[in-house]
Amino acid sequence: MATYDYLIVGCGLYGATFARLASDAGLSCLVIDKRPHFGGNCHTENRHGINVHTYGAHIFHTSNKAVWDFVHRFADFNNYINSPKALSNGRLYSLPFNMNTFYELWQVHTPEQARARIEEQRFQGDPANLEEQALSLVGSDIYTTLIRDYTKKQWGRHPRELPAFIIKRLPLRFTFNNNYFNDRYQGIPIGGYTAMFERMLAGIEVRLNTDYFENRNFFDNLARKVVYTGCIDEFFHHSYGQLEYRSLDFEHDIHEHENHQGNAVVNYCDDSAPYTRTIEHKHFENSQSDVTVVTREYPQDCTSGRIPYYPVNSEQNQKTYSLYKERASSIPTHIFGGRLSEYKYMDMHVVIESAMNRFRSERKQAATDLLPQ
């Protein structure tokens, strides 16, 4: 007899959401994670009174009220609005692409003037890749100043070799509005994500430093069902080949002064610096401290031993993923969810939504199984 209803592999946002919902429904869960902490990539750690986003800036945003209500069970959120600055060729620009950016770039004052500048340099036609999509949306000046080199650094390949959807994540607007997101709700959990996860996981058994693959049979036999949130190709011993992920190195510096860059996020959009972003964490929560922690983010190939952060959704990888997905759907005892298991570039709110939907369909299935045939 299984000891738990669910064994959950991975204590990131997908695993923790699923565990919370299952536990609220009276089901027993064991959550394991190979890392020494919970929270996955959302993890924060307090240094000098500042909540440092260990794996890069995490800004919560959503238009889904159910998701917003869900996270509010575990944290209060502040009114932080993400407004990164972009550095290119020694000049500072506003992001996302909006009237402030157009003024900084071309000294145009009105939406009509800005539209006309973009129109004269736009790619006309059906965009087939990220480069064409960017040229079609914003034209060549913005593409070469703010997109081309950043994207090459981030993904380790030319924008022509990347899918168009990646750049569609960024808003383009003809108003003076530097909000990086279009969502209705946005903020940072006051006290950091780690404190939020602590409340989310209250009463749920979590074992850290525990790798599922070190004793797969043992773990599978512990529970009625397994929720797996690790890399899907690893689960199947890479039998259809390795899926590509992009990794990152983070270098954290402590500066002995109060304010280093005046903004939480600065993007480095030309190729003079090998990193893509610097994050000054104290600005997320307006933390008061005599020192400041600044992190540089260096994109890397995901070679052995590195943490996979971003799925590289090229055509070839998508084809390979669909083979794994089909195989996964034939295993009724296992649920595959989250950024690495669904091999999808998902923000936090999308991951929560995905876990909620999956849990709901699980409950429906369980109710159907109990009906007389």
Q: Among ligand FAD, ligand UDP, none, what does residue 269 contact (CB within 5–8 Å per kind)? A: ligand UDP
Taking residues 214 to 253 in sequence order and writing x for each that binds ligand UDP by CB under 6 A, - otherwise, the string is ----------------------------------------
Q: In this chain, which of 101, 151, 229, 317 binds ligand UDP, going by CB under 6 A?
A: 151
Pairing verdict, β 223-228 and 334-336: parallel
Q: In this chain, which of 154, 194, 229, 295 binds ligand UDP, going by CB under 6 A?
A: 154
Kindly tell me which of 101 and 320 has the beta carbon lying closer to ligand UDP.
101
Spatial neighbors of 102 by CB under 8 A, at least 6 apart, are 108, 113, 114, 117
Spatial neighbors of 267 by CB under 8 A, at least 6 apart, are 84, 85, 86, 87, 95, 146, 150, 276, 277
Query: Does 138 sit near ligand UDP (CB under 6 A)?
Result: no
Q: Which of 246, 268, 339, 353 is catalytic?
A: 246
Stretch that binds ligand UDP, among 164-172, 193-201, 202-210, 230-238 (CB under 6 A): 164-172
Kindly tell me which of 58 and 117 has the beta carbon lying closer to ligand FAD.
58
Is 277 part of the annotated catalytic residue set?
A: yes
Q: Give bridge partners of residue 12 from the DSSP assignment.
A: none
9 neighbors 15 (Cβ within 8 angstroms): yes
Kindly tell me which of 58 and 283 has the beta carbon lying closer to ligand FAD.
58
Is 246 part of the annotated catalytic residue set?
A: yes
302 neighbors 245 (Cβ within 8 angstroms): yes
Query: Does 86 sit near ligand UDP (CB under 6 A)?
Result: yes
Kindly tell me which of 94 and 341 has the beta carbon lying closer to ligand FAD.
341
What is the closest distance, in whole angstroms, from the C-beta atom of residue 277 to ligand UDP in the complex?
8
CA–CA dist 340, 310 (Å, integer): 8
Query: Does 319 sit near ligand UDP (CB under 6 A)?
Result: no
**Burial class for 175, CB neighbours closer than 10 Å (0-12, 13-18, 19+):** exposed
What is the closest distance, in whole angstroms, from the C-beta atom of residue 103 to ligand UDP in the complex?
17
CA–CA dist 120, 178 (Å, integer): 24
Q: For residue 96, is the peptide bond before it cis, meaning its omega torsion is within 30 degrees of 0?
A: yes
Instruction: List active site positions.
Output: 169, 173, 246, 277, 297, 345, 347
